[in-house]
């Protein structure tokens, strides 16, 4: 049995040495080539990961920059919106003030026009009264003038009867 065990050992040792030789001379170059491919792929993957990390960092920085820009823009818009609202309220107040002033002016003008209308009516009445008085005065003056003319003629007839006798003869 010892010899069988030795033969089995010898066969196993031979197979091991043959496997080692096979691995060392045949499989090793292939494993080294595969290892180099794996190293190249690993290096490529590392570069891709690094590039992705750099891109991610740049994207993160861009997003931070955009975030800051958006915050600044939002703050600016908020300030401008507040100023706009304040200005609109101020303009609205001015319009209300102007509207009130216009209403007051309208009332004042209406009152003055009413007063003017009353004054015109009073003047018209006064003018009519004065006109009637003047007309009456003119008629009275005309009557007085006629009366005076008649009196002058009577006096003249008394003072110059010859003049009138001649006129009466011419008139007949």
Q: Exposure pattern of 52-89 as b/e (b: 16+ CB <10 Å)?
A: eeeeeeeeeeeeeeeeeeeeeeeeeeeeeeeeeeeeee
Cα–Cα distance, 32 to 92 (Å, whole number): 86
Residues 19, 34, 42: CA angle, nearest 5 degrees: 140
The parts of the chain modelled with pLDDT lower than 50 are none
Q: How many structural domains is the chain composed of?
A: 1
Quote the pLDDT of residue 33: 79
Q: By the 8 A CB rule, do 164 and 157 touch? A: yes
* Secondary structure string (H, E, C) spanning 99-116: HHHHHHHHHHHHHHHHHH
Domain residues for the domain of 64 are: 2-161
Quote the pLDDT of residue 81: 92
Quote the pLDDT of residue 79: 93
pTM for this entry: 0.41
Asked whether residue 168 is assigned to any structural domain, the reply reads: no
Quote the pLDDT of residue 75: 92
Quote the pLDDT of residue 96: 92
Quote the pLDDT of residue 171: 57
Report residue 167 as tokens. 């006129």
Asked whether residue 155 is assigned to any structural domain, the reply reads: yes
Asked whether residue 169 is assigned to any structural domain, the reply reads: no
């Amino acid at each position: 049995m010892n010899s069988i065990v030795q033969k089995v050992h010898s066969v196993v040792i031979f197979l091991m040495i043959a496997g080692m030789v096979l691995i060392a001379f045949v499989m090793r170059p292939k494993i080294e080539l595969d290892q180099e491919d794996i190293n190249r792929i690993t290096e490529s993957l590392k570069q891709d990961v690094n590039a992705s990390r750099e891109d991610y960092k740049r994207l993160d920085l861009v997003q931070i920059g955009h975030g800051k820009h958006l915050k600044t823009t939002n703050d600016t818009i908020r300030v401008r919106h507040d100023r706009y609202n304040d200005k609109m309220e101020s303009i609205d107040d001015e319009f209300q003030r102007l509207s009130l002033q216009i209403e007051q002016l309208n009332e004042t003008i209406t009152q003055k026009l009413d007063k003017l209308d009353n004054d015109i009516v009073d003047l018209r009445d006064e003018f009519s009264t004065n006109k009637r008085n003047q007309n009456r005065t003119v008629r009275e003056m005309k009557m007085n003038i006629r009366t005076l003319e008649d009196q002058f003629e009577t006096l003249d007839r008394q003072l110059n009867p010859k003049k009138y006798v001649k006129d009466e003869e011419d008139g007949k």
